[in-house]
Amino acid sequence: MGTKRIAIVKKRTGHDLEWHMPPALVRAVDALALEGVLGRVRRTQGQAFMPQLTLPYLAALGRAYDSAAGTRHEFEVRDAREEELRLEGCDMAWFTVSTPNAPATYRVSDMLRARGVPTVLGGIHPSVMPGEAAGHATAIATGDGEETVPRILADFDEGRLRARYDGGRAASMDGLPVPLWGREADASGGGNDPCPWVVPVQTSRGCRNACAFCSTTRFQGAARRHRPAGEVADEIRALQDAGVLTPDKTVFFTDNNIVSDSDHRRGARDTRHARELFEALLPLGIAWVGQGEVSVADDPDLVDLMARSGCHLLLVGLETVSQSAMDGIGKPGNRVGRYAAALETLHDHGIANIGCFIAGLDGDGPGVFDATAAFIRRHVDVPQLSLLTPFPGTPLFRRAEADGRLLHRDWSRYDILHVVSRPALMTPGELRAGYDRLVDEVYSPWAMASRALRYAARRTVNGMPRFGFAGRLSSVLAPNLVYRRLARLGRRDVAADGAGARTAAGEHAA
């Protein structure tokens, strides 16, 4: 019997962070004769700006199983839109499923099963909606893949796949394999660089804070589980040696909160692992982006260490500029009155911010949009604007469902770009109109350029980041362009719906 081929698939949706540079900017780069930049821009148009870590990591887990069991499978990573997926010739397909890509993934999985190809659906949506997902799969997998992948492969080889594999949550993150980012695992058809701009790396799982809108605690658990800092550094070195991580790319740490182990309900904050990790990164000479709580600025020494280890951009979940709205989402660690000073402390140390905001919280009235725009103008480098989305499995979803505020269950619109629940202090139409107006204001060409120039020209107390004016400029301008495209996508569906009464939705993970 020949080697069995396993496709590891993500059905890409319009809300994924893809790289599309506007034609006018391409022409401007062309006019400046920046051939190296222009070639990279043209080569990566339409590719993922932030590729998903799950696919190559599952391939690595499969490779590790083969090595231990003495078996052999071919693992092919495929990340594409539904109409571009080519899955001929595979003997089994694994799908990672988020809420917005669930309907299209179900269609593809059903088509494969009709042809006799077994499918396994895993990821966050099957983990919180297992009964629904099971109707569209040979098997579903919930929880961590370290436990499920070996069992799935063993049962597949013996011709007896079970209907469900529960992985639970691995107690230890020691000894994880390096994801297979190389072209050998990429069957997308072009041999493209799978990480043209950003290379994701995982250092921890879990979050104790259980914010009402976020599904991390439900999916990964409340216990914080860390990889040893030395193993994270070893993975980065391996990616450098393999040519996946080159000097012109940035590492993105996927952790929900890389700066602290926090439990804000109990007033606890533990930064020991963060310090150990940042110390391990110092000799690597990388540039990196991460996600963390804005209150890290209360510890300037930690901020300085973070900057010197390579951090030049931190995604912070600010959520709202209204403290009353903040009080309703279970995030007590965020104090709106401290935002401005905290963000300026980060700026002083060379760290720009991706400031994440959610429109449509229960305390938000129509005036929230002007207040948010004013705050962004003064303090935010890269705004990420979301429409409130009650994701399945979250306290927010349960509350919206109980109150009869869900407008529909079209999961394809649960993508932070559409109105899917009825706000408390606005109509759905007012929320949509206010959001679109905010998007137009903060992503105007002048607004984006001024934010990038402000960061690039700022003098810092530690001389960080290491790259010069042009690098600082592009490090803020590029993600602004990515988020601008994302924020405007929902308008097409509103236009197609006619009056916009049925506005749609998305997945918030900040």
Domain range annotation of the chain:
4-166, 197-497
pLDDT recorded at residue 116 = 96
This model's pTM is above 0.85: yes
pLDDT recorded at residue 263 = 76
Query: Domain 197-497 is classified in which CATH homologous superfamily?
Result: tm_1862 like domain (3.80.30.20)
As a whole number of Å, the CA-based R_g of the chain is: 22
C-beta separation of 316 from 340 below 8 A: no
- What is the C-alpha separation between 283 and 200, in angstroms, rounded? 19
Which residue's entry shows tokens 């749609």? 504
- What is the C-alpha separation between 93 and 109, in angstroms, rounded? 8
Same topology, domains 4-166 and 197-497? Answer is no
DSSP H or E run through 385 = strand 382-387
Query: Domain 4-166 is classified in which CATH homologous superfamily?
Result: Response regulator (3.40.50.2300)
Neighbouring-strand partners of residue 8: 77, 94
Neighbouring-strand partners of residue 95: 9, 121
Distances (CA, A) of 200 to 390, 399, 434, 435: 26, 33, 33, 30
- What is the C-alpha separation between 364 and 53, in angstroms, rounded? 34
pLDDT recorded at residue 238 = 95
- What is the C-alpha separation between 146 and 65, in angstroms, rounded? 10
Query: What is the identity of the amino acid at 27?
Result: R
pLDDT at 182 over 50: yes
Q: Enter the DSSP assignment of 425.
A: S
- What is the C-alpha separation between 157 and 140, in angstroms, rounded? 17
C-beta separation of 363 from 328 below 8 A: yes
Residue 183: pLDDT band (50, 70, 90) is very low
- Other Cβ atoms closer than 10 A to 499: 9
> Tokens at residue 336, please?
């709106």
More confident residue, 209 or 67: 67
> Of 184-198, 339-353, 471-485, where does mean pLDDT reach its minimum?
184-198
Q: Which contacts (CB < 8 Å, 24+ apart) does range 144-152 have?
A: 144/168, 144/169, 144/170, 144/205, 145/57, 145/58, 145/61, 146/61, 146/170, 146/176, 148/122, 149/58, 149/61, 149/62, 149/65, 150/61, 150/65, 150/68, 150/69, 152/94, 152/120
pLDDT recorded at residue 328 = 87
- What is the C-alpha separation between 449 and 54, in angstroms, rounded? 33
> Of 89-98, 179-188, 379-388, where does mean pLDDT reach its minimum?
179-188
Task: Provide DSSP, 288-307.
Answer: EEEE--GGGGG-HHHHHHHH
Q: Enter the DSSP assignment of 473.
A: H
pLDDT recorded at residue 187 = 42
C-beta separation of 328 from 365 below 8 A: no
Q: What is the pLDDT of residues 390-431, one digit of tens each?
A: 999 999 999 999 999 999 999 999 999 999 999 999 999 999
